[in-house]
Amino acid sequence: MNDTLQKLIWLSVATFVAMQFGVMYAMVVYIVFMKVQATQPMVSDWKKVEHFEGSVDELEKILTGKGDSLVVVDFYATWCPPCRALAPKLADLSEAHPTVTFIGINADTSSSVARHYAVTAYPTIIFIKDSDVIHQIRGADYNQIVKTINSEK
Set 42, 73, 80, 137: catalytic member: 80
Active site residue 133: no
Residue burial 132-150, b: 16+ Cβ < 10 Å; e: rest: eeebbbeebeeeebeebbe
What residues does 137 pair with on adjacent strands?
Answer: 125
Q: Per the residue annotation, which of 29, 49, 70, 83 is the catalytic one?
A: 83
Q: Is residue 80 flagged as an active site residue?
A: yes
Q: How far apart are CA 16 and CA 14, in angstroms?
A: 5
What is d(CA 55, CA 57) in angstroms, rounded to the nearest whole number? Answer: 5
Q: What is the DSSP string of 109-139?
A: TSHHHHHHTT--SSSEEEEEETTEEEEEEES
- Catalytic residue ranges: 80, 83
